[in-house]
């Protein structure tokens, strides 16, 4: 008979190999045999979550967090599960632990001023600094103007070089007069309070009903560079429509990339939809556009795309973006451009569960795997939608 430790090790190997059902079996067997170590309960919670049994997983995470409040990894994973289920109030509170784990502590920026708690601080200066990935910044830039209104403070936004142009065009801000932009890595001016961009929801008590996707008066909060828009208009004007941007893989170093990305060949059913695809893919997967599926009309643009400013300009001219969960999706949503997002069965927390729309961006449509790993079902649905798009255009 295998020991609890052996069963746990076997279960974790099953998880790494993409077999959560077997991982669950190992965890349950060890627990039934008298094992009660936190590692086994954690293994079971992760295995259930991957299978899409999020309610069962949440029960275990809640129990573990209550009994082991100092286990910050468990609390962070609990936060993502709560946010996935739309339980924002507790989810944002738990999400603050993202920089308290051993492997994330080096990423935290230490500040000598208090973190803003959401109350008005008129006459004071509030430093907001971006964090994490490009998609996160595109998504949460909208909250900078909200924080300005709530705090009644002067805003200093510290942001990475790649996205500073978008920040300059952010609606609701007064850069160069009341507010100031500084680049990450440079010394900000004196400030009275600070807040990470993704801690703004906690500070402001963000609820689902507060999101622009549920607001009839919602408007795009980012804009493309007019110079780039004109340049790409000249480049794309001779291509037959509809023009559909295409991204099939995310950042390879992302922890969940194997679950959210695919090869271009997998999208072969889209070749028969009468669409001109604009390959916006960057990174190692971009080379796949040189040998697309048979019959797919695709323009490889990656070599001409210098940065997200080019991507934004292209999206301004495209009829649609079809993409896996990636930064261009958030850019399209922030620009108010239409995008179809191909999601795994259990997606990243920001896409919630069981809905084809998203309250974050009213111009996005979500295509979810009906079962774990079933990209074929998603691709068939996207292909049908594209044929309908072509029919509408001809009609």
Tell me the β-bridge partners of 341.
323, 366
pLDDT in tens, 313-325: 999 999 999 999 9
Separation between Cα atoms, residue 176 and residue 45, nearest integer Å: 49
Calculate mean pLDDT across residues 127-137: 92
What is the predicted pLDDT for the residue at 391?
61
pLDDT in tens, 236-260: 999 999 999 999 998 766 556 678 8
Separation between Cα atoms, residue 262 and residue 269, nearest integer Å: 14
What is the predicted pLDDT for the residue at 393?
61
Four-residue CA torsion sign, 337, 282, 305, 223: positive
Burial status of residue 385 (CB atoms within 10 A of its CB: 0-12, 13-18, 19 or more): middle
Q: Which residue has the tokens 């922890």?
A: 255
What is the predicted pLDDT for the residue at 392?
65
Calculate mean pLDDT across residues 122-151: 94
The residue among 102 and 328 whose pLDDT is bigger is: 328
What is the predicted pLDDT for the residue at 53?
97
Calculate mean pLDDT across residues 91-109: 70
What is the predicted pLDDT for the residue at 103?
45
What is the predicted pLDDT for the residue at 394?
60
Least confident window among 5-9, 300-304, 386-390: 386-390
Q: Does 84 sit behind a cis peptide bond, omega within 30 degrees of 0 on the bond before it?
A: no
Separation between Cα atoms, residue 93 and residue 77, nearest integer Å: 12
* pLDDT at residue 395 greater than cutoff 70: no
Q: How confident is the model at residue 98 (pLDDT cuts 50, 70, 90)?
A: confident
Report whether 60 contacts 45 (CB < 8 A).
yes
Separation between Cα atoms, residue 11 and residue 24, nearest integer Å: 7
Four-residue CA torsion sign, 352, 348, 51, 6: negative
Q: Which residue has the tokens 């997200």?
A: 308
Separation between Cα atoms, residue 339 and residue 323, nearest integer Å: 7
Report whether 26 contacts 14 (CB < 8 A).
yes
Domain-wise residue ranges, the chain = 4-101, 125-206, 226-394
Burial status of residue 290 (CB atoms within 10 A of its CB: 0-12, 13-18, 19 or more): exposed
pLDDT in tens, 352-375: 999 999 999 999 999 999 999 999
pLDDT in tens, 12-42: 999 999 999 999 999 999 999 877 889 999 9
User: Which CATH code fits 226-394?
Assistant: 3.40.50.2000
Q: Looking at domain 4-101, which of 3.40.50.970, 3.40.50.1110, 3.50.50.60, 1.25.40.10 is its CATH number?
A: 1.25.40.10
Half-sphere exposure in the Cβ direction for 380 (13 Å, CA): 6
What is the predicted pLDDT for the residue at 290?
95
Separation between Cα atoms, residue 383 and residue 267, nearest integer Å: 9
The secondary structure of residue 179, as a DSSP letter, is B
What is the predicted pLDDT for the residue at 269?
97
What is the predicted pLDDT for the residue at 36?
80
Report whether 126 contacts 192 (CB < 8 A).
yes
Calculate mean pLDDT across residues 148-173: 96
* pLDDT at residue 177 greater than cutoff 80: yes
Separation between Cα atoms, residue 217 and residue 219, nearest integer Å: 6
What is the predicted pLDDT for the residue at 105?
47
The end-to-end CA distance of the chain, in Å, is: 68
Report whether 282 contacts 301 (CB < 8 A).
no
* pLDDT at residue 75 greater than cutoff 70: yes
pLDDT in tens, 191-219: 999 999 999 999 999 998 888 765 556 78
Percentage of the chain modeled with pLDDT above 70: 93
The closest of 139, 146, 151, 192 to 173, measured between CA atoms, is 146
Separation between Cα atoms, residue 89 and residue 29, nearest integer Å: 35
């Amino acid at each position: 008979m295998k020991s609890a430790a052996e069963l746990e090790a076997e279960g974790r190997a099953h998880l790494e190999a993409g077999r959560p059902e077997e991982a669950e079996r190992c965890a349950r067997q060890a627990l039934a045999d008298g094992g009660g170590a936190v590692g086994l309960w954690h293994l079971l919670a992760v295995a259930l979550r991957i299978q899409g049994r999020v309610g069962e997983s949440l029960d275990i995470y809640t129990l573990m967090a209550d009994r082991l409040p100092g286990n910050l990894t468990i609390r962070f994973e609990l936060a993502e599960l709560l946010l996935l289920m739309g339980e924002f109030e507790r989810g944002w509170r738990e999400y603050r632990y993202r920089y308290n784990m051993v492997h994330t502590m080096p990423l935290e920026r230490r500040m000598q001023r208090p973190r803003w708690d959401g109350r008005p601080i008129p006459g004071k200066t509030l430093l907001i600094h971006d964090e994490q990935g490009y998609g996160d910044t595109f998504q949460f830039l909208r909250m900078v103007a909200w924080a300005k209104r709530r705090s009644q403070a002067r805003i200093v936004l510290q942001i990475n070089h790649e996205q500073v142009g978008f920040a300059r065009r952010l609606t609701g801000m007064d850069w160069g007069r009341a507010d100031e932009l500084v680049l990450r890595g440079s010394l900000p001016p004196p400030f009275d309070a600070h807040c990470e961009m993704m801690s703004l929801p906690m500070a402001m008590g963000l609820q689902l009903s507060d999101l622009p996707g549920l607001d009839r008066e919602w408007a795009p909060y980012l804009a493309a560079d007019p110079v780039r828009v004109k340049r790409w208009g000249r480049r794309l004007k001779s291509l037959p429509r509809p023009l559909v941007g295409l991204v099939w893989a995310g950042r390879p170093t992302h922890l969940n990339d194997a679950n959210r990305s695919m090869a271009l060949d997998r999208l072969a059913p889209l070749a028969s939809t009468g669409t001109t695809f604009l390959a916006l893919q960057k990174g190692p997967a971009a080379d796949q556009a040189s040998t697309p599926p048979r019959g797919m009309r695709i323009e490889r643009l990656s070599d001409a795309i210098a940065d997200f400013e080019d991507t934004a300009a292209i999206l301004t001219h495209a009829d649609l973006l079809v993409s896996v969960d990636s930064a261009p999706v958030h850019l399209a949503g922030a620009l108010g451009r239409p995008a179809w997002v191909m999601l795994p069965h259990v997606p990243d927390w920001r896409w919630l569960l069981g809905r084809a729309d998203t309250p974050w961006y009213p111009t996005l449509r979500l295509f979810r795997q009906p079962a774990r790993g079933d990209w074929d079902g998603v691709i068939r649905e996207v292909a049908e939608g594209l044929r309908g798009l072509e029919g509408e255009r001809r009609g």
